[in-house]
């Protein structure tokens, strides 16, 4: 199974917390592509560090030991990150009419859809999956996969790496 629904979540609460991050950074969904939710050490300034996990992770020998400390005061999101032992968790947006190249990740990923619609899908090993809001999913992104936004609206997910 490439996609497993792990639990139902409070979509309104998680979206409210994600929106508070957007407001804190003074940006909107139109301008944000990725926002790191975890930093590489405790007590970092979120306004200065939110992009750290995006640019530096490829240079790290052991990324599972980095980007595990919460950057924002988002109790519900942080509780889910801790519950599933996630690292390098970030909010990721895919623009309308976009598609990632097929690739494989080093880890499985947890996805929490914030904004989506039926025209936004993941394809894992040639099987198409639509991830609905209000649910938390484990995706086996160690397999060949892509994400497609074949709609006219942005697709926004929280995505975290699961090393265990």
Low-confidence ranges of the chain (pLDDT < 70): 50-65
What pLDDT does 42 receive? 84
pLDDT tens across 30-58, in order? Answer: 777 888 899 888 888 877 776 655 555 55
Kindly write down the DSSP assignment for every residue of 83-126, as one continuous string.
HTTEEEEEEEEE-TTEEPPPB--SSEEEEEEEE--TTEEEEETT
What pLDDT does 50 receive? 66
Domains and CATH numbers, the chain: 3-162 (2.60.120.330)
What pLDDT does 64 receive? 56
The total of other beta-carbon atoms located within 10 Å of residue 14's CB is: 21
What pLDDT does 23 receive? 85
What pLDDT does 51 receive? 64
What pLDDT does 24 receive? 82
Length, in residues, of the chain? 164
What pLDDT does 90 receive? 92
- Answer for the pair 34, 95: CB distance below 8 angstroms, yes or no: no
């Amino acid at each position: 199974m490439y996609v497993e629904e792990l639990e139902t979540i409070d979509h309104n609460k998680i979206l409210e917390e994600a929106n508070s991050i957007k407001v804190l950074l003074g940006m909107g969904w139109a301008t944000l592509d990725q926002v790191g939710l975890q930093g590489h050490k405790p007590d970092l300034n979120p306004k200065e560090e939110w992009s750290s996990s995006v640019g530096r992770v490829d240079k790290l020998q052991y990324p599972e030991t980095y980007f595990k400390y919460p950057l924002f005061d988002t109790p519900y999101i942080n509780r889910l990150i801790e519950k599933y032992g996630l690292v390098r968790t970030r909010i990721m947006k895919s623009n309308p009419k976009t598609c990632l190249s097929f690739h494989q990740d080093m880890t499985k990923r947890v996805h929490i859809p914030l904004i989506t619609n039926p025209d936004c899908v993941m394809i894992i090993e040639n099987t198409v999956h639509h991830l609905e809001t209000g649910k938390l999913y484990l995706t086996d992104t160690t397999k060949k996969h892509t994400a497609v936004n074949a709609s006219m609206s942005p697709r926004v997910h929280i995505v975290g790496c699961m090393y265990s």
